[in-house]
Structure 1
Amino acid sequence: MNFKLTRIAPTPSGYLHLGNAYSFLVTKALAEKSGAKILLRIDDLDRERFRMEYLADIFETLDFLEISYDLGPKGPEDFLVNWTQLNRLDLYREALEKLWTEGCLFSCTCSRKKISQMNSSGYYLGHCLDRNISKTKKEAAWRINTFEDELVKIQDIHGKSKEEVLPEDVAFFIVRKKDEMPAYQLTSVIDDTHYGVDLIVRGKDLYNSSLAQVFLAKSLKDAAFEKVSFYHHPILKGPDGKKLAKSDGSTSIQFLRKSGKSLEEVYHLLGKMMQVEKPIRNFDEFKAALAF
């Protein structure tokens, strides 16, 4: 197992929680094991939910968790000047134009309500694919034509690859939103290629999203991203059995810090949620409890 660069990629749309901390620490552990450097890549294009306090929380949380990184902003001010995704809008738009020119995209005016009315699963099944809606239509999203039974090859950290059909929940996914801003799947692929990421660590709940991104890389003829290796870690759940969310303030690292919790106590909480037998008190014990 040998990689050059992985990344921690939080979004400043809420205070980071224990699930985020777990993912960051798994990334750190894999980076150490594989010799990879760490990039801090902050996804800030969701301007409606962006808050300066959430941006500051990212740096405060990494500092509290004692996670250092090799590439990325040194703080909020450095991020806003030198690392914001707004600085890379031209890269995203260039990729979108390439996809449109090659016939990979179509415009879609469907609302979430309309999609749910057309399909009880809530999945979008290509309603606007053959409607020939203008590229310049206002209030229209751009979706990618994912075709039927298209195989996607994805590689794990041990170099093993498997081919899968793109699942329905990510079929015809959006690459440009109705506000004309690039969508997450596209910006994530472009950013990872831009910085040279070859190892992506994320939760199992994002596996289908990973497949979508590999499909997108294939459409962009992005050979570098197609060779990226993925590790999908287990998802931490709260006492109610549900996935942790930013809306659950009691699990935020900020709340725990302000409540006087030490880093050792946070590791102990993570160990309990990981359901390991021995208590976890530090990073070495956390790393020893992981099975890669």
Structure 2
Amino acid sequence: MRTRFAPSPTGPLHLGHAFSAITAHDMVRATGGQFLLRIDDIDQSRARPEWEDLITEDLAWLGLTWDEPPWRQSDHLSDYRAIVEHLAGRDLTYPCSCTRRDIAEAAAAPQEGTPKHGPDGRIYPGTCRGRPMSDWTEGMAIRLDLAKALPDLDVGFTETGPARAGPHRVTLATLLAQVGDPVLARPHMAASYHLSVVLDDAAQAITHVIRGEDLFEATQLQRALQALLGLPTPIYHHHRLIRDDTGKRLAKRDDARAIRTYRDEGATPADIRRMIGL
């Protein structure tokens, strides 16, 4: 069993991160497997080395250890670009100049029905589909033409998390309805989150992906990308989320619940485990 914890160095870790990291670490250590640390710094405009330093300090303070040097996405940007270029060479991609507002307005048009969100944001209505890659510039996204790339998609994955345990099926019709053509590379970035995480999991030989239930819906898109690229499929485990007093899941802006804050106030790692129900 090999799993990973993949925080973004864009702010302090909070109690939700602690729950996810400890859950993954405890599960893999119970099997004698390996726990890896991945630094999700593909967005270089927001990543900061001081946040990465704090991440490793917090995790070590919690008593977590990792079995290989941290994997940094910023060290693999050329690998991501190569895959995007490969798919473009197969005529499976197109450039997209739509802004979030453009997509929202198109989705809200009466003929489109009620606006919906999926794991890649608002479901993309296909506005730019068919544009040639020769139109692409650095300020544009690159999208996958799902119907062209995976016309016969019908694959599955296994979920072991408490809420949706069991086999799950992913089809082209489901993806088109719930995601639309996904972004493979965002403007001024080598790849999107979904593409980079799929490539990283394969490169690191991850057998089990353990993460929050808010990412369950992303699994269907990531499974489709695995099928497209001929990559292995891990077993997935989506755990409960740590929420604030209003029921909202914690976010990076919740500095009051940052692990660093609790450390400074004299809490112990055992205190953190009690706070998050472990």
1:39, distance to aligned residue in structure 2 (A): 1.1
Asked if 1:250 corresponds to 2:259, the answer is no
Q: Which of the residues 170, 177, 181 maps onto 1:172? A: 181
Q: Which 10-residue stretch deviates more, 260-269 or 50-59?
A: 260-269
User: 1:55: which partner in 2?
Assistant: 52
Q: Are 1:113 and 2:119 matched, yes or no?
A: no
Match of 2:159 in 1: 156
Q: What's the Cα RMSD here? A: 2.1
Match for residue 103 of structure 1?
A: 91
Q: Distance in 2 between matches of 1:137 and 1:94?
A: 17
Letter aligned with residue 211 of structure 2: R
How far apart in 2 are the matches of 1:168 and 1:231?
Answer: 24
Conserved? CA contact 1:99–1:219, under 8 Å: no
* Inter-partner Cα distance in structure 2 for 1:20 and 1:168: 31
What's the CA shift for 1:125?
1.9
- 2:247 is equivalent to residue 241 of structure 1: yes
The one-letter code matched in structure 2 to 1:12 is: P
2:203 to 194, 205, 209: 194
| Aligned partner of residue 209 in structure 2, secondary structure | strand
Distance, in Å, in 2 between the alignment partners of 1:238 and 1:126 is 37
User: CA shift at 1:180, angstroms?
Assistant: 4.3
Kindly indicate whether the alpha-carbon contact (under 8 Å) linking 1:99 and 1:220 is maintained by their aligned counterparts in 2.
Answer: no
1:107 and 1:132 in contact (8 A); partners too: yes
| Aligned mates of 1:10, 1:46 — CA distance in 2 | 12
State how far apart, in whole Å, the 1-side matches of 2:251 and 2:267 are: 20
Q: 1:231 to 1:151 in 2, by over 3 A?
A: same
Kindly, what percent of the aligned residue pairs are identical? 29
CA contact (8 A) 1:12 1:58 kept: yes
Are the structure 2 counterparts of residues 16 and 169 from structure 1 closer, same or farther at C-alpha, using a change threshold of 3 Å? Answer: farther
- Are the counterparts in 1 of residues 93 and 133 from structure 2 also a CA contact under 8 Å? no
- Normalising by structure 1, we get a TM-score of 0.81
**Helix, strand or coil at the partner of 1:39:** strand
Q: In the TM superposition, what is the alpha-carbon distance from 1:133 to its structure 2 partner?
A: 5.3
Matching residue of 1:206: 215
- 2: CA distance, partners of 1:145 / 1:44: 26
**1:69-108 equivalences in 2 (<5 Å):** 69-73=66-70, 83-108=71-96
Does the CA-based 8 Å contact 1:176-1:183 persist in structure 2?
yes
TM-score normalised by structure 2 residue count: 0.85
SS at match of 2:39: coil
Instruction: Tell me what 1:282 maps to.
Output: none
Contact kept, 8 Å, 1:108 with 1:142, in 2: the verdict is yes
Structure 1 CA distance for aligned equivalents of residues 130 and 77 of structure 2: 29
1:140 equivalenced with 2:140 (yes/no): yes
Structure 2 distance, partners of 1:250, 1:37, is 32
Hey, what does 1:20 align to over in structure 2? 17
Structure 2 counterpart of 1:194, which letter? A
The letter of the residue matching 1:97 is E
For residues 163 and 56 of structure 1, do their structure 2 counterparts lie closer, same or farther at Cα, with a shift above 3 Å needed? Answer: same
Unaligned runs of 5+ in 2: 109-114, 116-121
- By relative contact order (CA 8 Å, sep 6+), the higher-ranking structure is 2
Distance 1:135 1:232, change over 3 A: farther
Q: Give the match for residue 274 of structure 1.
A: none
> Is 1:130 aligned with 2:130?
yes
Cα distance, 1:8–1:91 mapped onto 2, change above 3 Å: same
